């Protein structure tokens, strides 16, 4: 088992999106009246799993696809996916199934600890967009799916990472340009 990566103290994870596939269909009508399960099939074509200890919740689709949202680290997202499967198996809604969870996106807040010269940065950052009439910050495409939203306040949002290492990498890349 791999040792979990350490996140920089300047970074606070806000949300982790993790998916999995049960490789079987799910009868969402069976969610009605069951503890920890809910659905509103007239509004959304999915059901939800959330017990009293879960931080986030897991959406369950008829196709067997699962999406965990709302946790603060990838390990917890995977735990919540597996817990959801246990609840679904308990109610005999699904057959026993092992899954291969995949982190799709980590959203993190960062504080660079100083006011950022947005106008100047917008001219020197490659692969960036700054249109103050549209959005008050710089959209900086770092690498692949990694994007940083940078604001004059010195705060930022990192999106698109699939691991803690990628979140740290994005932070260091922005810091490199701030020097």
In a domain, 65, yes or no: yes
- Residue by residue, what is the 3-state secondary structure of the chain? CCCCCCCCCCEEEEEEEEEEECCCCCCHHHHCCCCCEEECCCCCCEEEECCCCCCCEEEEECCCEEEEEEECCHHHHHHHHHHHHHHHHHCCCCCCCCCCCEEEEEEEEEECCCCCCHHHHHHHCCCEECCCCCCCCEEEEEECCEEEEECCCCEEEEEEECCHHHHHHHHHHHHHHHC
Residues 126 and 50 in one domain: no
Note the pLDDT of residue 6.
86
Residues 98 and 117 in one domain: no
In a domain, 9, yes or no: no
4, pLDDT greater than 80? no
In a domain, 166, yes or no: yes
Total domain count, the chain: 2
Burial 36-70 (b: 16+ CB within 10 A, else e): bbebeeeeeebbbbbeeebebbbbbbeebebbbbb
Percent pLDDT > 70 in the chain is 98
C-alpha dihedral, 149 to 155 to 159 to 161, nearest 10°: 130
In a domain, 146, yes or no: yes
In a domain, 11, yes or no: no
Q: Say what the pTM is.
A: 0.90
Residues 131 and 94 in one domain: no
Residues 99 and 138 in one domain: no
**What is the tens place of the pLDDT at every residue in 135-171?**
999 999 998 899 999 999 999 999 999 999 999 999 9
Note the pLDDT of residue 1.
44
2, pLDDT greater than 70? no
* Band of residue 85 on the pLDDT scale cut at 50, 70, 90: very high
Q: Which domain holds residue 59?
A: 17-103
- Give CA–CA dist 39/34, Å, rounded: 10
Last residue within a domain, chosen from 103, 124, 144: 103
Among the ranges given (14-18, 30-34, 38-42), the one the predictor scored with the smallest mean pLDDT: 38-42
- Give CA–CA dist 171/101, Å, rounded: 25
């Amino acid at each position: 088992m791999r040792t979990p990566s350490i996140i920089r103290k300047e970074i606070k994870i806000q949300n982790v999106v993790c998916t999995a596939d049960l490789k079987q269909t799910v009868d969402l009508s069976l969610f009605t009246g069951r503890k920890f399960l809910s659905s509103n099939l007239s509004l959304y074509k999915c059901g939800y799993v959330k017990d009293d200890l879960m931080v986030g919740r897991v959406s369950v689709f008829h196709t067997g696809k699962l999406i965990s949202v709302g946790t603060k680290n990838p390990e917890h997202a995977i735990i919540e996916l597996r817990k959801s499967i246990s609840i679904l198996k308990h109610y005999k809604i699904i057959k026993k199934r092992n899954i291969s969870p995949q982190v799709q996106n980590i959203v993190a807040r960062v504080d660079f600890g100083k006011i950022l010269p947005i106008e100047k940065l917008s001219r020197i950052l490659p692969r960036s967009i700054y249109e103050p009439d549209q959005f008050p910050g710089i959209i900086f495409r770092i690498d692949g799916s990694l994007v940083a939203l940078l604001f004059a306040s010195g705060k930022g949002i990192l999106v698109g990472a699939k691991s803690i290492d990628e979140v740290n990498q994005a932070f260091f890349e922005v810091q490199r340009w701030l020097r």
